[in-house]
Amino acid sequence: MSQSKLVMTAEDLTAFLEHEFPQVHKDFLVEEVAPMRLRVRLKVEERHLRPGGTVSGPSMFALADVAVYLATLAMIGPVSLAVTTNISMDFMRKPAANTDLIAETRILKLGRLLSVGDVLLFSEGVAEPVARASMTYAIPPSK
Amino acid sequence: MSQSKLVMTAEDLTAFLEHEFPQVHKDFLVEEVAPMRLRVRLKVEERHLRPGGTVSGPSMFALADVAVYLATLAMIGPVSLAVTTNISMDFMRKPAANTDLIAETRILKLGRLLSVGDVLLFSEGVAEPVARASMTYAIPPSK
Amino acid sequence: MSQSKLVMTAEDLTAFLEHEFPQVHKDFLVEEVAPMRLRVRLKVEERHLRPGGTVSGPSMFALADVAVYLATLAMIGPVSLAVTTNISMDFMRKPAANTDLIAETRILKLGRLLSVGDVLLFSEGVAEPVARASMTYAIPPSK
Amino acid sequence: MSQSKLVMTAEDLTAFLEHEFPQVHKDFLVEEVAPMRLRVRLKVEERHLRPGGTVSGPSMFALADVAVYLATLAMIGPVSLAVTTNISMDFMRKPAANTDLIAETRILKLGRLLSVGDVLLFSEGVAEPVARASMTYAIPPSK
């Protein structure tokens, strides 16, 4: 498997998300895709917040999850059956109130059966990350 | 700190959740509390689901997070500033469609500054867990 | 795959360890095996210690790793190619000085390709765990 | 706390390791230190290997652990009581046989009580990482 060539563009990923995850696709904006790398934004709305205006843990989880998932799909194509098998996440700083979150992702391994990536989450405009996550996806065997 | 005495009942925890997390408190039902142990239910609604009726990853994350948080508070009292610092989660089976999830939690360490717990998530009525998680909370220093 | 039947006994596991991991097998003693459960002891020697007599992190890692590995093999047979793909570990208390560590393991998922288990580590004779770990193993496809 | 200034050099860290961890200091070579970054080498010997010449899991754990620990100390000074509280690690590729491992570390958070860092491990001369890890250290309160 070549690890230097994208098989899906930002537009392809957006269309995939829209089709496969109609409940959540409006939350996310794919901003940049490159081989083994992807940047995606959580467009923060009231429903993502906790009292005080800070982004909730489950919303950060969702962003990290979608980020590594899309970065994987960008390399292998639209495999809707790929599933998250493991996540590890450190919450390091309180996100800025009412501010979009940006996920910067890199794929560290793209195997035949497993994909592993990590991601840093930033409040837009702030240099230090609010969280880090690493994730593993199981890729269904191709027939 | 005694690790054998509860300082909050299921009713206290429910009232705390209602007051501090008005956006989500209706999702959860505290079913049983004991020293260092807690069981809480995610009352699955349309908004927790992915296509196919399976509970979403962020909803499982939210349940695991609230479970260990409440199990900690049950032992130390209503400290709304306790924050999740780390989570590790394995997604092991697909949850049953349109079925509540039950979290069975145990606190493994209750220190002055950190609380560590783990949790198994089950689709109601199914013996094998759908996910496991372990979590760390930072407890703000008491004045 | 039946999840109620052992295919290797404690003796089988000990012989496997001796044959496959000659460098370390003397460190470990398989104490009890049951379906999806296993208890193994780290026989603590000078080389496992840090100054002060406490067991080192890498030694705790090694014990957790071997525990879930052997618990998996007990269910699937002597697959020497199974490899650890992920570990998450919380170090919660300082181990007692110069005291054996006991690992209590349970297998939470035994799939065709992945095995997931967790483990608590105890200083012998102490009720509260010194560490917890969860692990994933990739099982090579059978021919 | 300034996060742009080193308080320990590679030489200081080496001396610290030699004094505090006499059992293992010879395994490691601090190669480069910069603010919030550090590179350290595991000088692979027979005792770090598994049959086939591949570096063992516990040896990779030890390298990741020492890497984030030293990167933290480089910023805060020689605090021998800092302890690892959590590690999450993905093993992604088999290390090259009989080849040193290089750890590339970055500190993501340097708080008053907790330090969080992540690390990639490489077989020397190979572009793709063999493992990744993230770690949390508890820093003892200064008097």
Structural domains of chain B ordered from first start: 10-138 (3.10.129.10)
Q: How far away is chain A from the Cα of B56, in angstroms, using its nearest Cα?
A: 9
- What mean pLDDT comes out for the span A92-100? 94
Rg (alpha carbons) of chain B, rounded to whole number: 15
CA D50 – CA C36 distance, rounded (Å) = 26
Q: What tokens appear for A127 in the block? A: 């240099």
Number of C-beta neighbours around residue D6 at 10 A: 17
Beta bridge partners of D33: D38
**Candidates D90, D109, D129; nearest CB to A93:** D109
Return the biggest CA–CA distance within chain A: 50
Nearest to D88 among B85, B88, B138 (CB): B88
Instruction: Find out whether B74 and B33 touch, Cβ atoms under 8 Å.
Output: yes
d(CA C13, CA C19): 10
How high is the pLDDT of residue B24? 84
CA distance B45 to B99: 9
Query: Is there a contact between A120 and D108 if contact means CB atoms under 8 Å apart?
Result: yes
- What does the pLDDT read at residue B1? 45
Q: How far apart are CA D129 and CA D56, in angstroms?
A: 15
Q: Which residue has the higher pLDDT, A140 or D142?
A: A140
CB D57, CB C65: distance < 8 Å:
yes
Q: Which of A108, A121, A128, A135 has the most D C-beta neighbours within 10 Å, making it the best mutation to test the interface with D?
A: A108
- Inter-chain touch D114–B88, beta carbons under 8 Å: no
**Partners of residue B49 on adjacent β-strands:** B55
Q: If you compute the radius of gyration of chain C from its CA atoms, what whole number of angstroms results?
A: 15
In chain C, what residues touch D21 (CB-CB under 8 Å)?
A: 50-51
* pLDDT beneath 50, residues of chain C: 1
Residues of chain D with a CB closer than 8 angstroms to some CB in chain A: 88, 90, 92-93, 108-109, 111, 116, 118, 120, 128-129, 132, 134, 136
Q: Amino acid letter at D21?
A: F
- Give the type of residue at C101: L
HSE-CB for B143 with a 13 A CA cutoff: 1
How confident is the prediction for chain B on average, in pLDDT?
Answer: 92
**How close does chain C come to A99, measured CA to CA in Å?**
31
Beta carbons of B41 and B28 less than 8 angstroms apart? yes
- Mind telling me how many Å the CA of C51 is from chain D's nearest CA? 7
pLDDT value for C1: 45
User: B89: nearest CA in chain D?
Assistant: D88
Distance of alpha carbon A133 from alpha carbon A82, whole angstroms? 18
Per-residue pLDDT reduced to its tens digit, D68-123: 999 999 999 998 778 999 999 999 999 998 899 999 999 999 998 999 999 999 99
Chain A: closest CA distance from residue C36 (Å)? 20
Chain A contact partners (≥3 CB pairs within 8 A): B, C, D
Q: CA C136, C24, D101 angle in degrees (round to 5)?
A: 65
Dist. CA C32–CA D23, nearest whole Å = 32
Give the per-residue pLDDT at C122. Answer: 98
Pairwise CA distance, residues A33 & B84, whole Å: 30
- Collapsing DSSP states into helix, strand and coil, what is residue A55? strand
Burial class (CB in 10 A: 0-12, 13-18, 19+), B83: middle
Helix, strand and coil percent figures for chain D, each rounded to 5: 25, 35, 40
Question: Which residue bears the tokens 């095995």?
Answer: C115
H/E element, A131: strand A131-138
Q: Which residue of B has its CA nearest to A47?
A: B23
pLDDT > 70? residue A142: no
In tens, the pLDDT along B42-68 reads 999 988 888 778 899 999 999 999 999
Residue C20 contacts by C-beta under 8 Å, 6 or more apart in sequence? C80, D51
CB A108 within 8 A of CB D129: yes
Which chain B residue's Cα is nearest to D115? B85
Given a cut of 90, whether residue B143 has pLDDT beyond it is: no
Q: How far apart are CA B58 and CA A23, in angstroms?
A: 13
Separation CA C93–CA B3 (nearest Å): 15
Mutate to test the interface with D, among A84, A92, A93, A104 (most CBs of D within 10 A): A92
At residue C23, the pLDDT reads 80
Structure tokens at C107: 């297998």
Closest-approach residue (CA) in chain B for C90: B116
The residue of D2, D36, D86, D88 whose CB has the most chain A CBs within 10 angstroms, and thus the best one to mutate to test that interface, is D88
Asked whether residue B71 carries a pLDDT value surpassing 90, the answer given is: yes
Percent of chain D with pLDDT over 90: 77
Nearest CA in chain A to D113: A92
pLDDT of residue B20: 86
**Inter-chain touch B88–D85, beta carbons under 8 Å:** no
Q: What would the pLDDT profile of B75-109 be if each residue is shown by its tens digit?
A: 999 987 789 999 999 999 999 988 999 999 999 99
Contacts of A56 in chain B (CB under 8 A): 62
- Write out the E strands in chain C: 28-34, 37-42, 83-91, 101-110, 114-123, 131-138
**Which among C136, C140, C121, C142 is positioned nearest to C28, based on CA atoms?**
C121
Is the pLDDT at A101 greater than 50? The verdict is yes
Alpha carbon of C113 to those of C8, C86, C142: distances in Å? 19, 14, 9
> Are A142 and A73 contacting, i.e. CB atoms less than 8 angstroms apart?
no
Reported as a single tens digit per residue, the pLDDT across A4-22 is 799 999 999 999 999 988 8
What pLDDT score was predicted for residue A73? 95
Query: Which amino acid, one-letter code, is at C107?
Result: I
Q: What is the pLDDT of residues A40-52, one digit of tens each?
A: 999 999 888 887 7
User: Which residues of chain B have a CB within 8 Å of the CB of C129?
Assistant: 108-109
Could D93 and A109 be called an inter-chain contact, meaning their C-beta atoms sit closer than 8 Å?
Answer: yes
Of A112, A9, A101, A115, the closest CA to residue A57 belongs to: A101
| pLDDT top residue among A79 and D133 | D133
Contact check, Cβ <8 Å, B88/C88 = yes
